[in-house]
Structure 1
Amino acid sequence: MSRLLAALLTCVAAAALATGAAFGIVAALDAAPEQQNVPLVTFPDPPAQGSSSTPDPGAG
């Protein structure tokens, strides 16, 4: 019976440890400041699609 009690206490302790770790991770993520959403690479805007001197390759 003592082995069963030890197994039960081990399971309860493991569940409590896992729950505490989960709450700790969530608390740590909430405490961290949000990162700015700034792109590392930017590309120039393409020229406006209007009248051009080159023919459209798909119009043939």
Structure 2
Amino acid sequence: MSRLLAAFLTCVASAILATGAAFGIVAALNVTPEPQNVPLVSFPDPPANGASSTPSPSAG
């Protein structure tokens, strides 16, 4: 009977420890600030009037 009780208490203790570790990890991840979302590549804004600086080929 004592071995059964020891096995049960070991299972309960390990479940409590695993749950506490999981909550601790989640709490630690929530405390750290997220990095800024900085794009690796940026493109210049197109001109406001929609005209291109290079002439387009004429049809014809």
Is 1:21 matched up with 2:11?
no
**Does the C-alpha gap of structure 1 residues 53 and 35 become closer, same or farther in structure 2, counting only changes over 3 Å?**
same
Equivalent position SS for 2:19 = helix
**Does the C-alpha gap of structure 1 residues 22 and 54 become closer, same or farther in structure 2, counting only changes over 3 Å?**
farther
Q: TM-score, normalised by structure 2?
A: 0.66
**RMSD over equivalenced CA pairs, Å:** 2.7
Residue 5 of structure 1 aligns to which amino acid in structure 2? L
Aligned equivalent of 1:53, options 39, 54, 57: 57
Q: TM-score, normalised by structure 1?
A: 0.66
Among all aligned residue pairs of Structure 1 and Structure 2, give the percentage whose two residues are the same amino acid. 74
Structure 2's unaligned 5+ residue stretches are none
Structure 1's unaligned 5+ residue stretches are 56-60
Q: What is the distance in 2 between the residues matched to 1:22 and 1:33?
A: 19
Q: What is the distance in 2 between the residues matched to 1:41 and 1:13?
A: 51
